[in-house]
Structure 1
Amino acid sequence: MPSNNFRWRIVLLLFLVTTINYIDRNVLSFAMIDDAFRKEMLGFPIGYTLTQTDLNIFKIQYGWVDTTFKVAYALGFIMIGWLIDRLGTKRGLTVGIGVWSLAGVANAFIGSFRGLAATRFALGIGEAGNFPSSIKSIAEWFPKKERAFATGLFNAGTNVGIIFTAAVIPWMTIHYGWRMSFMTTGVLGFAVLVLWWMTYQRPETHPKVSPQELAYIQQDNQQEEIAGRVTWWRLLRYRQTWALIVGKFMADPIWWFYLTWLPDFFNSSESLEQTLDLQTIGLPFMVIYIISDGGSIFFGWLSSQFMKIGWTLNRARKTTMLICALCVVPIFFAAQTHNIYIATVLIAIAAAAHLGWSANIYTFASDLFPKSAVAMVTGIGGFSGAVGGAILAAMAGPIRVQFGYLPLFLIAGSTYLIALLIINLLVPKMKPVEM
């Protein structure tokens, strides 16, 4: 029987895809604090005792591997965004899931930093397909007033993926080794690939969507076709595109920094009186990402709620993003406190605010552009975010080794306010482009 709420099942599907995406992505962040993995990458025998010099070399090399992933992620956004707008959401994301799942399994068979860089490069290419596909799906399945909330819901899968990784991967690595961790999580991608292919269709062709729900979805009467060919260069003419670029370029690197370096922060920070290993590190990560999951959903809901009570799109989105930006500011205290519990709470609030920011910045593409250009616009934003992430990744290792975590947390605390100021200068009043 046709449903009047089937669109929320699509959000659940996107949530599951995003969860698996982040599980595959974050296994490495926990493997990096496993001595067996470190020795394998550095070419030392299992009985060798690592020195502080060895660990510093490892962290710098790890930073370059992380840079490789982000460069690939940026390139993937160029290709996947274009591919999705031409093949369609269903086929485009199918390609992405297939590529990243193969790369995830391949991580289990490498034995050097060179091999790790190759598999992470392939992983970055494939994983770039997730967000352009998901944002385009939200544009296809939801009216504007529900998009930020729907985006916040599926975006919460990022944290569920990290929570799962924090809860399971350290245990699995201790008992079965780091190779099995990569193998198991990589296989999960193929399971969600089958589910995606069997479930997803556009709402106008889906048999479980009622005429009433279809009318509700299409209430904005947004322009479906664009006169002329859509290209990067054409989209870059618009200030709205540059607002999205700035929002992603400046904020995404901070999220990448959390994902990549927080295990090392809790494992080896000089400021903390208590440090954690593979057996104890899971709990603070579960706390951080459960709280930040709430932030993703809450700030997405808040923006949508502002619009439902009559606020303009411009006021609703920017006010919510300002609140998010202010919540991140105190994070620099995390690099100064000796108390691991205070550090955990500060990081959790900042991570929650980031996901709230992300839920709103992603809606820029569907708020301001026709549906047929959403994936490409999202790809441009994702590319800029990955470029910013690659730049910070290249800097993070040397900064961490020479100066500790304070400079990195200072960057994190100030970036969002600067980004919002630039966005407001570029687009004082948010309104859809006329293409």
Structure 2
Amino acid sequence: MQDADTIRDIGARENPGAKAEHTGVGQRLGAFALAVGRYRWTICFILFLAATINYVDRQVIGVLKPDLTKLYGWSEKDYGNIVFWFQVAYAMGMLSMGAFMDKVGTKIGFAVAATIWGLAATGHVFATTVLGFKLARFGLGIGEAGMFPAAVKVIAHWFPKRERAFAMGLFNSGTNVGAIVTPLMLPMIVPAFGLGASFVVTGCLALLWVALWLAKYHPPEEHPKITEREKEWIKSDPAPNYPKIPWVRLLPWRQTWAFAIGKFLIDPIWWLYLFWVPSLLNQKYGLTLNKIGLPLVTIYLISDFGSIFGGWLSSSFIRRGWTINRSRKVAMIICACLVPPIVLAANAGSTWTAVLLIGLATAGHQGFSANLFTLTSDLFPTKAVGSVVGFGGMGGAIGGIFIAQLAGSVLQAMGPSGYYVLLLLPPAAYSLAIILIHLLSPRLEPISSEAFSSGS
């Protein structure tokens, strides 16, 4: 087939370590990618919708925290404990959902996960006590844990390596859109229908997405809408046909721990942004539900740009002839450099200065995260990606367990002044993450087929 020959010819001449003589390869690859078809980007858009809904359901409680605290008399420790049980379930779900996706496939697996989180999100309407909210958040954590293992696995199936970081950035930007939509929706829902209706409306969005997913998704080799040319493009990166790999067999590999430790360090910072930034803006700058929408929208619009920029940046470096190792790590370092100014946000002098400082840090996180997730498909075979992402996600959720308890305890003891302490954590987390990732995987070398076959 001529198209396949063209792909192989371009790929054979592409040398990631080359310099000026190969600077045109990336442009030719990009032009060819446009010509072969674009249905893979439709799949990416459906994943983007899932990420948006996932974060709408996740963030409702953070935006409503001041109102729920008044209604139910929560202390800072109560709220920290409610978030804690979400993180416990998320850790458990990340481990089990990753293996589940590898076992049953992403079509069924993702639908099951989204159904669980949709029903759990809706179930918050029945909670009236701290225990009730803990149970609802536990169910939400189990279901929502399935999103990233499923989505990263889908992207590994549908995109060649040179496009994966950008596709990951586009999908991951849905988390920011969800965080944008939530504070815009809730001021319309709550005054008209009450706090409980917020959980019902947002939970039902997940169930509607399940119907869309089941109707539209098939693997690329079976999809009726994909052209043969696009199929050849997707398969242009040759990969060994490994057997399915239980996650326990991934534990000896340094590459597994590079990803997992990175998640352990940076994920708690995102939870801190998601669950405590609304209360920071309320307590330090006096923003209530009817005023908090625009500041939160601004923060997550900035972070949305960071997600797409981070994915584009490393992909751009690869097109210029950089190695994957250099491209991913330099992109992560650049993103990490956006974080340190957040230490000034708790006493910024004005609301909008604080908003811009927080937005810059969330943009850095999302760009860093897009590249960190892409490492899994750089280092592991497709059939193991779900398990690796699940294991790493469990590490991130365990970090989230610590941050939930720490934030609740610090704010309970220090009041609003505790935010000064909490905002010292993000700069340290990203710096340490990139150092440990580099020490564990200095060259980001994929695990060889011989090593996997022997299990050594």
**Structure 1 residues 183-216: Cα deviation after superposition (integer angstroms, max 9, x where no partner):** 1111111110100011111101111111111111
Determine if the alignment matches structure 1 residue 299 to structure 2 residue 314: no
Residues 332-388 of structure 1: per-residue CA shift (max 9 Å, x gap): 011232221111101000001100011000011111100010100000111000000
**Are 2:72 and 1:41 aligned?**
yes
1:376-395 mapped onto 2 (5 Å cutoff): 376-395=387-406
Letter matched to residue 20 of structure 1: I
In the alignment, which of 47, 63, 82 is matched to residue 30 of structure 1?
A: 63
Q: Is the 8 A contact 1:19 1:158 kept in 2?
A: yes
Give the structure 2 partner of residue 328 of structure 1.
Answer: 339
Q: CA deviation at 1:40?
A: 4.3
> How far does residue 32 in structure 1 lie from its aligned partner after superposition?
1.1
Identity %: 45
Q: Say which SS state the counterpart of residue 75 (structure 2) adopts.
A: helix
Report Cα offsets for 1:79-102 as digits up to 9, x if no partner: 111111010011110110010001
**Equivalents in 2 of 1:336, 1:39: separation in Å?**
25
* Aligned positions of 1:50-129 closer than 5 A: 58-129=75-146
Using structure 1 for the length normalisation, give the TM-score: 0.93
2:376 to 333, 342, 365: 365
Q: Deviations over 1:141-200 (max 9, x none)?
A: 000011000000010000111111011113322332110111111111111010001111
Contact conserved, 2:36 with 2:233, CA < 8 A, in 1?
no
| Counterparts of 1:38 and 1:351, CA distance in 2 | 26
Task: Report the CA distance between 1:38 and its aligned residue.
Answer: 2.5
Deviation at 1:301, TM superposition (A): 0.5
Q: Distance in 1 between matches of 2:50 and 2:168?
A: 13
The aligned residue for residue 342 of structure 1 is: 353
Which of 339, 354, 364 aligns to 2:365? It is 354
- Corresponding position: 1:289 with 2:300: yes
Deviation (angstroms), 1:3? 7.1
Equivalent-residue separation in structure 2 for 1:155 and 1:428 (angstroms): 26
Q: What is the match of residue 437 of structure 2?
A: 423
AA in 2 matched with 1:93? F
Find the counterpart in structure 1 of residue 240 from structure 2. Answer: 223
- What's the counterpart of residue 6 of structure 2? none
Residue of structure 2 equivalent to 1:53:
none
State the partner residue of 1:411.
425
Corresponding residue of 1:175: 192
Gap runs ≥5 in structure 1: 43-56
For residue 254 of structure 1, the aligned residue among 264, 269, 291 is 269
Judge conservation of contact 1:144–1:367 (CA < 8 Å) in 2: yes
From 174, 190, 196, the counterpart of 1:157: 174
8 A contact 2:99–2:247 mirrored in 1: no
SS in 1 for 2:280: helix
Say yes or no: does 1:15 pair with 2:30.
no
Letter in 1 for 2:72: M
4+ residue runs over 4 A deviation: none
The answer for the alignment partner of 1:45 in structure 2 is: none
What TM-score results when the alignment is normalised by the length of structure 2?
A: 0.89
The residue that corresponds to 1:185 in the other structure is 202
Q: Distance between the aligned counterparts of 1:145 and 1:3, measured in 2? A: 15
Partner residue of 1:51? Answer: none
Deviation at 1:39, TM superposition (A): 4.5
Question: Hey, what does 2:12 align to over in structure 1?
Answer: none
CA distance in 2, matches of 1:99, 1:201: 21
Q: Is the 8 A contact 1:235 1:241 kept in 2?
A: yes
Contact 2:153 2:382 in 1 (8 A): yes
What SS class does the counterpart of residue 28 from structure 1 fall into?
helix
Deviation at 1:71, TM superposition (A): 0.6
Aligned match of 1:238: 253
Contact 1:69–1:123, Cα closer than 8 Å, also in 2: yes
Q: In the aligned structure 1, how far is the partner of 2:333 from the partner of 2:340?
A: 11
Measured after TM superposition, the shift of residue 33 of structure 1 is 1.2
Q: Give the residue type in structure 2 aligned to 1:358.
A: S
5+ residue gaps, structure 2: 1-34
Q: CA deviation at 1:252?
A: 0.4
* 8 Å contact from structure 1 (residues 223, 371) kept in 2: no
Could you list the per-position Cα deviations for residues 53-103 of structure 1 after superposition, in whole angstroms to 9, with x for gaps in the alignment?
xxxx52210001101001100100111111110100111101100100010
Residue 391 (structure 1) shift: 0.8
Following TM superposition, by how much is the alpha carbon of 1:396 offset from its aligned partner in structure 2, in angstroms? 0.5
Q: Secondary structure at the match of 2:423?
A: helix
Farther off after superposition, 216-225 or 16-25: 216-225
Alignment correspondent of 1:46:
none
Structure 1 CA distance for aligned equivalents of residues 249 and 337 of structure 2: 34
Tell me if 1:142 matches 2:173: no
Cα shift readout 1:239-297 (whole Å, capped 9, x = no counterpart): 1101001110000000011000011000002xxxx421111011100000011101101
Partner SS for 1:203: coil
Q: How far apart, CA to CA, are the structure 2 residues paired with 1:138 and 1:259?
A: 25
How far the C-alpha of 1:416 sits from its partner, in A, is 0.1
Does 2:229 correspond to 1:212?
Answer: yes
- Contact 1:84-1:93 within 8 A present in 2 as well: yes
Contact in 2 for aligned 1:30/1:170 (Cα 8 Å) = no
Helix, strand or coil at the partner of 2:348:
coil
